[in-house]
Amino acid sequence: MKKEIEDIGDIERLVSLFYDKVNQDDLLSVVFNVHAKTDWESHLPKMVRFWSGILLDTSDYRGRPFEAHAKQSEHITPEHFKRWIALFKETISENFEGEKAALAIQRAESIGDIFQYKLDFMRLNKEATDPNLDKL
Ligand code: HEM
């Protein structure tokens, strides 16, 4: 049954269901499990703190969310963002409804846009300053 996102238990459910999907997805799971070698025991509670900050106005998340993605810049493409957003929307729409559910999707999309923009900028800059460029 669908419900509103109201408390930390709802966020835990959202995060757990979403990353179950990520782990079953060939494209996304490689980035986490092969390249980043994600420690799920610490990543999931971190993502609960992250989303709870956005959706419940708590302030326990400490981190620099972009850095984790910058480290994987060679492995994360626009395809990955499309799939990530699609799975996130699917998780929300299968389980939740209401204002916070809509806000979660909106924030994921806008953060995704910013990450992609910054990753593009990083890659372009790297190309422009890569000392090996003239050897190619
Ligand atoms: C589109 C919206 C996205 C949001 C809102 C988001 C959010 C986050 C946040 C908050 C973290 C934790 C950063 C930290 O404090 O360490 C994280 C880590 C990470 N994300 Fe994303 N992310 C998004 C898209 C993606 C995509 C498309 C990928 C590609 C597979 C991805 C892969 C990762 C990886 C590999 C980590 C590091 C996990 C680790 O610590 O091992 N993310 N993300």
Which residues, 6+ apart, have CB-to-CB distance to 18 below 8 Å?
87, 88, 91
Summarised one tens digit per residue, pLDDT across range 16-45 is 999 999 999 999 999 999 999 999 999 999
Number of domains in the chain: 1
Decide if pLDDT at 7 tops 90.
yes
Output the pTM of the full model.
0.93
Check if 31 has its Cβ closer than 6 Å to any atom of ligand 1.
Answer: yes
Check if 104 has its Cβ closer than 6 Å to any atom of ligand 1.
Answer: no
* Interatomic CA distance for residues 99 and 85, integer angstroms: 18
Summarised one tens digit per residue, pLDDT across range 100-129 is 999 999 999 999 999 999 999 988 887 766
Question: Can you give the pLDDT at residue 135?
Answer: 52
Check if 19 has its Cβ closer than 6 Å to any atom of ligand 1.
Answer: no
**Structural domain for 114, as ranges:** 8-127
Summarised one tens digit per residue, pLDDT across range 71-104 is 999 999 999 999 999 999 999 999 999 999 999 9
Question: Can you give the pLDDT at residue 131?
Answer: 60
Pocket test of ligand 1: the residue of 27, 69, 83, 113 to mutate, having most ligand atoms within 8 Å of its CB, is 69
* Interatomic CA distance for residues 40 and 48, integer angstroms: 12
Sign of the Cα pseudo-torsion (67, 38, 49, 87, in order): positive
Average pLDDT estimate for 41-58: 97
Tell which residue, 85, 84, 81, 50, has the closest CA to residue 64.
50
Domain-embedded: residue 1: no
Check if 76 has its Cβ closer than 6 Å to any atom of ligand 1.
Answer: yes
Nearest ligand 1 atom to the CA of 81 is 27
**Domain CATH number, residue 12:** 1.10.490.10
Check if 43 has its Cβ closer than 6 Å to any atom of ligand 1.
Answer: yes
Check if 111 has its Cβ closer than 6 Å to any atom of ligand 1.
Answer: yes
Nearest ligand 1 atom to the CA of 50 is 10
Residue type, 38: T
Domain-embedded: residue 2: no
Domain-embedded: residue 51: yes
* Interatomic CA distance for residues 134 and 136, integer angstroms: 5
